[in-house]
Structure 1
């Protein structure tokens, strides 16, 4: 029997937590529910889940801080599930490493679709592995269109097979979304890619974020990390009013 993927549901509302847990259980996940931030961090450290659904309003540690701490130890998919509707809350959640943001109240079908979109992305540790079939009703990964794994230029190398980015030989740690955005840009050197096209390529679902500003937030985080590794780099150019372009010769 194949091993199931693991999900951690972080939710202080027990009814909502039970509903999400049931949905993911039916999708083939092994599910653990945590009701506080401290409990969530302990569980995530122990089970190393593939997916976390995270409420921002928790009785002890704020969900934004929980997400930030998750990102220091795990590359799991994180979907924020919150009643906070302000744009600033969405942007902060994405800035600290969430892959998606779902506002309460929401339908379980929409949550299922968003999980499906995340699991269609290539993964570093589960490419064609045994765990894929266990999330059968959620999604199956889609292989990259271009079979070439190593892309980039002399100072920046992106390996899609290993999900690894090197700048001058040193690895740069990126979130899944940051890696996928960079991979799409690097795969189209010198071509201006519109924000809408990046959203379709990376989120890979009809259920994409409702504002292209989400792309700008993730790319700002990506640029910041690349700049730390090579302060003079100008690989990713903003084309005002259109989108972004990867220039392999600019560093």
Structure 2
């Protein structure tokens, strides 16, 4: 985490917003608070934001709509908050591009851990490994499977040279599987390979992410050839060379 990371907190509860602003500020973040969806979109358009904490229940518009609009123009990491207690909201949120979710009520420490996790998955355009690597070295690290390329340095996947529409978290899942192509990976194995970042092993969220990855890398997501579900065991990345 960069101490200067800029967080947009979209939350209409003033007491919760004040508490989180103070807590995250003490942890080194710069927090901007937006109590409505429209103000959130204005902030995103006007300033560079490193991550968004987004409540689903806002007074002027649904948080899912905010996420949809945001994903139309930006790949900034989104941590979604929900008090509805309905799994379908979390699933829809992940389907439209949220990187993670956290049900209310929650412990601030868990929110901080999840926020740091999605920020670690972000590629920092101002430096780091990608900026330091030379073109030849970066190109050598690209994993190629026929028409599909998985590029760790660019944090991007390309099919027929065109970028695949994946969130940072979905790319990391794809990269883990590509690096273990031909092996069946259980949910627990995926958690271990993702270095313990939050992932509910028995929640449908991972299945939603896999569905989104298929939509990006498969010719026909309903008949997948690259991301294969092995019933009762996990997922297999097939070494397709078409």
TM range, smaller chain: 0.7 to 0.9
Q: Secondary structure in 2 aligned to 1:109?
A: helix
Q: Distance in 2 between matches of 1:13 and 1:112?
A: 18
TM-score, length of structure 2 as denominator length: 0.87
Question: Contact 1:6–1:31 at 8 Å: present in 2 too?
Answer: yes
Question: Contact 1:10–1:40 at 8 Å: present in 2 too?
Answer: yes
Question: Contact 1:124–1:163 at 8 Å: present in 2 too?
Answer: no
How many residue pairs get matched?
Answer: 232
Q: Residue 144 of structure 1 aligns with which residue?
A: none
Q: Which runs of 5+ in 1 are unaligned?
A: 130-147
Q: Distance in 1 between matches of 2:147 and 2:223?
A: 11
Q: Which runs of 5+ in 2 are unaligned?
A: 130-139
Matches within 5 A, 1:37-56: 37-56=37-56
Deviations 1:30-69, CA, capped at 9 Å, x for gaps = 2110011111011112213111111100011100111111
Matches within 5 A, 1:144-155: 149-155=141-147
Q: Residue 217 of structure 2 aligns with which residue?
A: 226
CA RMSD of aligned residues (A): 2.5
User: Is 1:236–2:227 an aligned residue pair?
Assistant: yes
Question: Contact 1:234–1:250 at 8 Å: present in 2 too?
Answer: no
Question: Contact 1:158–1:166 at 8 Å: present in 2 too?
Answer: yes
TM-score, length of structure 1 as denominator length: 0.84
1:236 to 1:54, Cα distance in 2 relative to 1, 3 A: same
Question: Contact 1:156–1:167 at 8 Å: present in 2 too?
Answer: yes
Q: Residue 157 of structure 2 aligns with which residue?
A: 165
Offset at residue 89 of structure 1 (A): 1.4
